[in-house]
Amino acid sequence: MKYIITLFFILSISSCKTKKDETTIPCIKSIVQTFPQSNGNRCAESTGTLNSDALEVALSGKPVWIAGTELNGQQLWAVTLEDGTVELIKTKGRTIISQNPNWNKIQAGAPPVLGINCNDQPVLINEFINETAPFAAPIIFAGNKLAYISSQGDLVIISERDTISLPIQAMHDSRIITDMDNRLLVLTLPVQYYHGVLGDNTEARGIAIISTSPEIKIQKQFMAPDSSVIEGVGAIWEDLNGDGIFEIAVTLSNNIEGTGGKHVIFSENGKVLASGKSVKPDGWRHLLLSLRVQGAHNSVLAAIQRPHVDRLLNIYEWKGDSLKVVNQLHGFSTHMAGSRNLDGVLCTDINSDGYSEIILPCTTHDTLYAVSYKNNVLKRLWNSPIQGIAITNIARAGKTGHAAIALGTDRNTMKIWYWE
């Protein structure tokens, strides 16, 4: 099987399909996904103080995903419900300005991608394409190009000139992430994997990096070592050690060999640069984010060890070829078993002290906490009752002056917290 997959890698590099573009893409100024950074990291900028009193918004159904942005001093929230219905909610200063319960509809379970067009109107990027794979999300990038994963597993890129399909065997629920050079990264080579904690029994074995300038082509492809899979729907793709070169952080799992889940940092060539310890025999680790720490050369990684069992927040430092746990704090869970939502966490500065805090739910998902990591110490700084169970990602809208975060609950509500 390894040789067949390797041969496919070689053939796929030269077998892209090009056709004349028949899709009209309107002018888009910006987009937001269900995580704040296009490179897959879940950190964002904020100023002011996060208030613990939340605004509650009643919804017409059970929320699954939220995407948020700011426009003209207002917060815009696209809330996707269980059946794919998308509500558009506008808020400002703890006031609901408007609420459209039937603004749009997308494939049930798919993450929404909220855009602002060149007329300063909100649009849903998902509606531009009806050929996406189940649970996939399209993106707009680099000069109004549109990228999506097709139901056949191709990565399709639409520009003003043409449409190019790259047969990379993309995961049907992989998120498409980008770097500052408008390259794309996608999880590939789906295989059956029995754990099934992320919505089905399929996980990725490979990663593909696609260059989009000056031409669209597959730049890199590699596979996870041994018989490991990438147990997740994306990666964190950024410079983690300050050398000016991007690395790729993921969770690898190998329950077939009984070694469980561990975090790994790859080079873009597929070399394992650093690896953490496995959770044996079949535990999963939820990789949350990378965090810059004042005075440290490398970024640290934050993760939850077995969010359904141990519920342990770990901080990892990259030392040599290892990822070492340097601090831990019990009592947090960022994932519901069976869900594809891995965005139930956010890091941002909640009190203008120059340090980013990690915002995440407690073990029972009914209280939201902010945890600081300062001077090598993890500490609970802030909390607010959710008045329900958190069941969506934590979305964010705005940066300064009008910033807010939001999540959805099992009581068919959205809770919004504001910086003041």
Nearest to 129 by CA among 157, 103, 102, 108: 157
C-alpha 411/C-alpha 235 separation (Å) is 31
**What is the pLDDT confidence band of residue 9, given thresholds at 50, 70 and 90?**
very low
Q: Is 127 helix (H, G, I), strand (E, B) or coil?
A: helix
Global confidence as pTM: 0.93
**What is the pLDDT confidence band of residue 197, given thresholds at 50, 70 and 90?**
confident
Amino acid in position 397: A
C-alpha 206/C-alpha 261 separation (Å) is 16
**pLDDT at 248 > cutoff 60:** yes
334: Cβ contacts below 8 Å, ≥ 6 apart: 286, 288, 304, 307, 342, 344, 345, 360, 361
Tens of pLDDT, residues 253-311: 986 666 678 999 999 999 999 999 987 766 789 999 999 887 778 899 999 998 888 88
Over pLDDT 70: what percentage of the chain? Answer: 92
Positive or negative torsion for Cα 136, 259, 194, 408: negative
**What is the pLDDT confidence band of residue 19, given thresholds at 50, 70 and 90?**
low
Q: What is the pLDDT of residue 357?
A: 97
Q: Which of the given ranges, 77-86, 127-136, 223-232, 287-296, has the highest pLDDT on average?
A: 77-86
**What is the pLDDT confidence band of residue 161, given thresholds at 50, 70 and 90?**
confident
Tens of pLDDT, residues 388-412: 999 999 999 987 667 999 999 999 9
Q: What is the pLDDT of residue 15?
A: 57
Mean pLDDT value across residues 156-175: 95
Positive or negative torsion for Cα 108, 111, 117, 121: positive
C-alpha 349/C-alpha 337 separation (Å) is 29
Q: What is the pLDDT of residue 5?
A: 43
Q: What is the pLDDT of residue 297?
A: 80
